[in-house]
Amino acid sequence: MEIPYTVHPRPDTGLYNAKVGIWLFLASEVMLFGGLFSAYIFLRVGADYPWPVHDLDVKLGFWNTIVLIASSVTVVMAWACLKMRKFGWYRINMAITVLCAAAFMFNKSLEYSAKFKHYAVKLTDGTVLTGHMPEDEHGHTIPYTVKFGEVSELSLTIAGGSKAVDADPANCVLPLIEGEAGKFKLPDGREISLDKASFKALRQEIHEAEQKKIDDKKAALLEQAAAAKNPEEASKLSKEARKYVPLPDVTLKLTTSAPLKIAAKPSQIFGYTSTSITFVDGTTAMGKLLDDKMTLLVDGVDARGVAQSDKSLAFDHRYLGEGWQKAFVANRDHHIAAFEHDFPTRDKSKSATLQKESLFFKIHSSTPPAEGAAHGEKHGAEAHAPAAGHGGGHGHDYPTVVLEKKDITFFSNFTPKLNTYYAIYFTLTGLHGAHVVAGALVLLYFLVCDNKLLKKDPEHLANRVEVGGLFWHFVDLVWIFLFPLLYLL
Amino acid sequence: MSDNIEEIQKSVKKYLFIGAALILCTGATVWLSYVELPTHGLNILAGMILATFKAALVALIFMHLNHERSVIYKVLAFTVVFAIVLFVLFYFSNSDPLVFEGFYDRNE
C-alpha cells in the first residue's frame, strides 16, 4: 500500500503527513515531561530538607549540554545538506549526531555509577555524613553487613496455603553463610543440606504429610457421619468433611552441624536482636551478634540539620574528633564572615549558598588541615590537606569512621531511595536518557539503512530526517530545562 | 520549512550562529547560578528565563517554528495552556480552603 503525502504536502493541512504526526506526538511528549516537571515543583516546594544545589557534577552536566547542542546543530545541518543534495556532508553530520548521543549516554553512565557508589548516612542528631564504603585490594566495594556468629539453629517456615512467608534458603540464607554451610539436622534426627533440590524434596514431603493429616481427619469425619443416627448431625459432619482446608504453614527447627557465621546486607534482613536475626524470607537464625558497625570513608559532613553545628555527632571523639571539628568551625566562620562583609544587609539564614558553604563541610584528606588552612576555597566548604596528603591520580584519602548502629537513623547510596530530589533526578534524567537512545537509534537507521531511498527519492528521506530531527531537538529542549533545574539551581 | 535551496543555504550560517549562542547562554546560566543574588528564588528565576530563551531559540530556529503552518500552532497552543496549568498546580496545594480561624471570635 502506498502511504500518501510522504513527500508532498496534503492540500488541507499544507504539510506532509509525517510532520503533522510528529508534532502531535511532541505535543503528547510535552505533557509527559510537563507532568514530571510539575512533580519536580511539588517535591521542591514540599521538601523538608535543604534542596541540593550544585550537588551533581556541574562540569559533566555542562559538557553534556554542549554535546546535545552540538548534536542539535548537526542534525539540522544534515537535513539542510540533504535538501541541498550534498550527500557526503549529510552523512558526516548524521554520524556526528549519533556519536554525540553516544558521548552523552557515556557521560550519563559515569554520573550514575558515581552516585551508586556514594553513600549518605543520617545520624541521630540530624547530621548527614557522605562518603564511600571501604574497598578491598582489588578495588571492589566492601558492602555494609550485619555479622552474626555461633549460629546453631535455623527456624524455617514452609508456607502451606498462605504465602505470607515462605522459606527460600537457597536464595536467602545459604549465600550469606561464610564458608561451607554443611548439613542441617531435622527434628527427627535426619541430616539434610539446604540446596534447592533437597529443600524442594523436603517441602514436598512436609506438604504430603500435612495433606495426609487433613485427609485422615476428613475420612474420620465421614465415618462419624455414616455412623451418626441423627440425620441432621450426619449432614453437619459430612458438610464439615467436604469443607476446603488449606495446608497449614509449618515451622521447622534445624540445628547446624557446626556453628556458622553469617553476614547479611540490610536489604536481606527483616530484623535482628543481639541473639537472633530474621531474614526477608521469614527464616530466623539463632546466634550471637558479632558486628553491626558501619565503616565509612567520610568525604562530607552536612550539619545543616543540626541546631548547634559544631556540636555535631560527627565530631564525637569516636568519629572525626576535635581536629576536624576545629577545621569545620574555621571554615564555617570564614564563610559567614565573608558573607557578612559582602552582603551586610542580607539575612544569613535565607542564603541557601551560605548555608551549604558554611555547614556542608567537604573533606579531601585523611587528616585535618593545619589551623588556618581550612578555609579560603573559592566555592567554599572544602578542606584540603597539604599536597603530600593526597593520593595519586584521581583518588583522595578520607578519614575512616566506624559508626555504631545506634547512632545511625538512615543510610542509602545516592539513589531514589535517599530523598525526593534523587527520586525525581533519576526519573527525569532516566526518561530523558531513554529518549536520547530512541532518537539516536532512529537517526542511525536513517543513516545506515536508508541508502536506497537516498538515491531513489532524497526528498522523501529529507522529510524523514526532518521528522527525526524534530524529535531530536525536542530531546535537546528538555535537557535545556533539566540542566539548570537539577544541576545548578 | 521552505523548500527554496537558496534560503536553506543562507540558514546554514544561522544554525551555526544559534548553536554558538546556545553554548554562550549555557555558560551564562552556569555562571549566574554561582552569583549570590538577594534570594535564591531570583537565581531560579534568572536561570529559568535564560533556559526559556534557549528553548525558544531551539524551537523557533532549529524546529522552524518561526514560519510553520497554522495547524501546528493550533496543536501547540493547547499543549502550552495545559503545560502551564500543570506548572501552577502546586499553588493550590499551599492554599488550603479549610483555614482555622481560632477558638475565639475575632471581634471580641
pLDDT digits (tens, 9 = 90+) for A128-177: 999 999 998 888 889 999 999 999 999 999 888 777 788 888 888 989 99
The pLDDT mean for chain B works out to 86
Give A355→chain B minimum CA distance, Å: 12
Provide mean pLDDT across the span A428-448. 96
Identify which of A41, A58, A350 has the shortest CB distance to residue B87.
A41
pLDDT of residue A385: 38
pLDDT higher than 90, residue A59: yes
> Are residues A484 and B63, on separate chains, in Cβ contact within 8 Å?
no
Nearest partner of A190 among A168, A207, A206, A174, judged by Cα: A206
Identify which of B1, B47, B94 has the shortest CB distance to residue A484.
B47
Q: Which residues are CB-contacts of B31 (< 8 A; sequence separation ≥ 6)?
A: none
Provide mean pLDDT across the span A436-454. 92
pLDDT interval class at B99 (50, 70, 90): low
pLDDT of residue A194: 86
Q: Which residue of A has its CA nearest to B54?
A: A480
pLDDT, tens only, A301-348:
999 999 899 999 999 999 999 999 999 999 999 999 999 999 988 888
Torsion sign across C-alpha atoms A160, A161, A165, A170: positive
Identify which of B5, B18, B36 has the shortest CB distance to residue A83.
B5
The pLDDT mean for chain A works out to 89
pLDDT higher than 70, residue A12: yes
pLDDT, tens only, A339-375:
999 998 888 888 888 999 999 999 988 888 876 554 5
Provide mean pLDDT across the span A59-79. 96
Q: Which residue of B has its CA nearest to A83?
A: B5
pLDDT of residue A366: 85
Give me the amino acid identity at A164: A
pLDDT interval class at B98 (50, 70, 90): low
* Chain A residues within 8 A of B30 when measuring between CB atoms: 58, 62, 488
Phi, psi of A371 (to 5 degrees): -55, 135
CA distance A202 to A250: 12
Q: Does A34 touch chain B (CB under 8 A)?
A: yes
Nearest partner of A107 among A413, A412, A429, judged by Cα: A429
The more confidently predicted of residues B15 and A183 is B15
CA distance A389 to A128: 25
Strand spans (E) along B1-108: none
Identify which of B62, B75, B93 has the shortest CB distance to residue A72.
B62
pLDDT higher than 70, residue B60: yes
* Chain B residues within 8 A of A69 when measuring between CB atoms: 19, 22-23, 26
Q: Is the ipTM of this complex over 0.90?
A: no
Give B44→chain A minimum CA distance, Å: 6
Q: To probe the interface with B, which of A72, A93, A478 has the most B CB atoms within 10 Å?
A: A72
Give B83→chain A minimum CA distance, Å: 6
Could you say which DSSP state residue B60 is in? I
pLDDT interval class at B3 (50, 70, 90): low
SS3 A469: helix
* Chain B residues within 8 A of A37 when measuring between CB atoms: 86-87
Provide mean pLDDT across the span A188-202. 88
CA A231 from centroid of its chain's CA atoms: 66
Half-sphere exposure of A104 (CA within 13 A, CB side): 29
A-proximal residues of B, 45-84, CB under 8 Å: 47-48, 50-51, 54-55, 58-59, 62-63, 69, 71-72, 75-76, 78-80, 82-83
Q: Which residue of A has its CA nearest to B32?
A: A488
The more confidently predicted of residues A28 and B104 is A28
pLDDT higher than 60, residue A219: yes
> Are residues A73 and B18, on separate chains, in Cβ contact within 8 Å?
yes
pLDDT, tens only, B4-43:
788 888 889 999 999 999 999 999 999 999 998 988 899 9
* Chain B residues within 8 A of A19 when measuring between CB atoms: 72
> Are residues B71 and A42, on separate chains, in Cβ contact within 8 Å?
no
pLDDT of residue B8: 86
pLDDT of residue A387: 36
- Burial label for A333, CB within 10 Å (0-12, 13-18, 19+), is middle
pLDDT of residue A164: 72
CA dihedral A239, A240, A241, A245 (to 10 degrees): 120
> Are residues B36 and A353, on separate chains, in Cβ contact within 8 Å?
yes
pLDDT interval class at B106 (50, 70, 90): low
Provide mean pLDDT across the span A223-232. 88
Provide the whole-model pTM: 0.84
Q: Which residue of A has its CA nearest to B5?
A: A84
| Strongest mean pLDDT among A54-63, A174-183, A447-456, B87-96 | A54-63
Provide mean pLDDT across the span A242-270. 90
CB A283 within 8 Å of CB A154: yes
pLDDT higher than 50, residue A380: no
For a pLDDT cut of 70, what percent of chain A falls above it?
A: 94
pLDDT of residue A384: 42
Give A124→chain B minimum CA distance, Å: 29
The more confidently predicted of residues A12 and A131 is A131
pLDDT of residue B22: 97
H or E element, residue A118:
strand A118-123
pLDDT of residue A183: 86
CA distance A216 to B106: 77
pLDDT interval class at B101 (50, 70, 90): low
pLDDT higher than 90, residue A11: no
Identify which of A23, A38, A350 has the shortest CB distance to residue B89.
A38
Give B108→chain A minimum CA distance, Å: 36
pLDDT, tens only, B41-57:
999 999 999 999 999 99
pLDDT of residue A453: 85
pLDDT interval class at A390 (50, 70, 90): very low
pLDDT of residue A383: 43
pLDDT higher than 60, residue A394: no
Give the CA radius of gyration of chain A: 32
pLDDT of residue A414: 95
Give A34→chain B minimum CA distance, Å: 6
* Chain A residues within 8 A of B51 when measuring between CB atoms: 480-481, 483-484
> Are residues A76 and B76, on separate chains, in Cβ contact within 8 Å?
no
Residue position matching grid coordinates 555504631: A404
